[in-house]
């Protein structure tokens, strides 16, 4: 007795003498017996490939997330350190800035005075 399932329908055949089968069915039986282990191995390999692909996708996503987080942290640290350094430099160079501003303002006042005198001469 043999049970064959084709397209979800089971069929039980009573085979007493395999030689009573037509030659095409004998060949199909032989092919099925020959290729059944190969089909099982192919199914296992496909399952293994599917698992490997999923693992690779997860690893790539995790690496991308880690790289993005590291880049964001580095940018934030650089910006904060830059702001602190600029604030410290402004604090220490305040006197220089004051002297520069005084000089610049005096220089501009001189030009404004000259411009004012010329305007008065024109009137």
Residue at 114 is within a domain: yes
What is the domain count for the chain? 1
* Residue-wise burial string across 8-30, b where 16 or more C-beta atoms lie within 10 A, e elsewhere: eeeeeeeeeeeeeeeeeeeeeee
Residue 24, pLDDT above cutoff 70: no
* Res 75 pLDDT > 60: yes
Residue 107 domain flag? yes
Is 44 inside a domain boundary?
no
d(CA 34, CA 32): 5
**3-class state of residue 4 by DSSP:** strand
Q: Is the pTM value of this prediction over 0.85? A: no
The tokens of 26 are what?
Answer: 């004998």
State the residue range of the domain holding 122: 93-123
- Residue 109 counted as domain residue: yes
Residue 106 has pLDDT above 90, yes or no: no
**In-domain check, residue 106:** yes
| 69 occurs within a structural domain | no
Report yes or no on 80 lying in a domain. Answer: no
Is 104 among the domain residues? yes
HSE at residue 54, side-chain half, CA atoms within 13 A, is 6
Can you tell me the distance from the alpha carbon of 93 to that of 70, in angstroms, rounded to the nearest whole number?
34
């Amino acid at each position: 007795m043999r049970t064959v399932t084709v397209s979800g329908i089971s069929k039980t055949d009573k085979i007493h003498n395999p030689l009573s089968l037509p030659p095409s069915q004998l060949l199909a039986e032989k092919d099925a017996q020959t290729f059944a282990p190969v089909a099982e191995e192919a199914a296992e390999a496909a399952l293994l490939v599917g698992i490997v692909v999923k693992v690779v996708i997860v690893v790539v996503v995790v690496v991308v997330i880690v790289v993005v987080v590291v880049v964001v942290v580095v940018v934030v640290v650089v910006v904060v350190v830059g702001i602190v350094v600029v604030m410290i430099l402004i604090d220490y160079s305040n006197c220089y800035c004051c002297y520069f501003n005084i000089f610049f303002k005096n220089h501009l006042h001189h030009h404004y005075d000259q411009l004012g005198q010329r305007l008065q001469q024109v009137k």
